Amino acid sequence: MGRMTIRIHVYVDGFNLYYGAVKDTPYRWLDLQRFFALLRPHDDVRVIHYFTALIEGPHASHQETYLRALATLPKINVVLGRFKPKSVKCQVAACEHKGSRIFRMPEEKQTDVLIAVTMIRDAYENACEGFVLVSGDTDLVPAVKAVKSISKESKAIVYVPAREIYPDSPSPRGFAVELRTAADKARILPNQLIKRAQFPNTISDGFGGIIHKPPSW
């Protein structure tokens, strides 16, 4: 008898995915729907929740273009948090202003809360049998435990975005030990599939327009 197909909901921590898997690579133009079809080929992926926040600055147009591309995919649900200005002191060892000069930096807010709320809502509504979380954020440990408590027949599966960028460490990004331990199954996100799940260079936006891949991507 073959493996039984189960309903899957996916929860993607967008910034975690970006910095852990695709930043500074030629694979930022990622078709998430295609990627999870390759990652979970025997499951019924119902929806992919993509959590992010709108950035400011020179790369904001790239993010806007990418979100427009994701909006063309029927299974993608983009959930936006926000950035809040934060004051931090200079910590550069060679800087004469270390410990005294104050900088204003954006701090991402709400993403982990939005992921947790969405997962718990889906558990209460019995929306799926499999919860696939893409993140290395240990703040999500309580959400994973709550989902398993509410929906006892379901499975929580964690994929940690982590490239081989710490050659001297046996555990890149610490492999998010607490988060992986809380899940029923946990793996490092398979980066080889990212190369196979890229959008084409141009995409129809569904309204007569064309979306072009950012030239620097």
Instruction: Supply the pLDDT for residue 156.
Output: 97
Q: Which of 47, 52, 46 is nearest to 64 (CA)?
A: 52
- Output the CA angle 139-142-147, nearest 5 degrees: 130
- Across 102-129, b (16+ Cβ under 10 Å) vs e yields eeeeeebebbbebbbebbbebbeeebbb
Q: What is the CATH number of the domain that holds 104?
A: 3.40.50.1010
Instruction: Supply the pLDDT for residue 103.
Output: 52
Instruction: Supply the pLDDT for residue 162.
Output: 87
**Binning pLDDT at 50, 70 and 90, where does residue 58 land?**
confident
Instruction: Supply the pLDDT for residue 167.
Output: 41
217 domain-assigned: no
23 domain-assigned: yes
Instruction: Tell me how many domains the chain contains.
Output: 1
**Binning pLDDT at 50, 70 and 90, where does residue 57 land?**
confident
168 domain-assigned: yes
Contact residues for 209 (Cβ-Cβ < 8 A; gap 6+): none
1 domain-assigned: no
Rounded Cα distance, 21 and 24, in Å: 9
Q: Is the pLDDT of residue 45 over 60?
A: yes
Instruction: Supply the pLDDT for residue 168.
Output: 41
73 domain-assigned: yes
Q: Per residue in 170-189, pLDDT tens? A: 444 456 899 999 999 999 99
Residue range(s) defining the domain that contains residue 34? 7-212
* Average pLDDT over every residue of 204-211: 95
Q: Is the pLDDT of residue 89 over 70?
A: no
For residue 16, give the H/E element and its range.
helix 14-17
2 domain-assigned: no
Residue found by looking up tokens 């703040």 in the block: 139
Q: Is the pLDDT of residue 32 over 90?
A: yes
- The neighbour count for residue 11, using CB atoms within 10 Å, is 26
In terms of pLDDT, which residue wins out, 134 or 217? Answer: 134
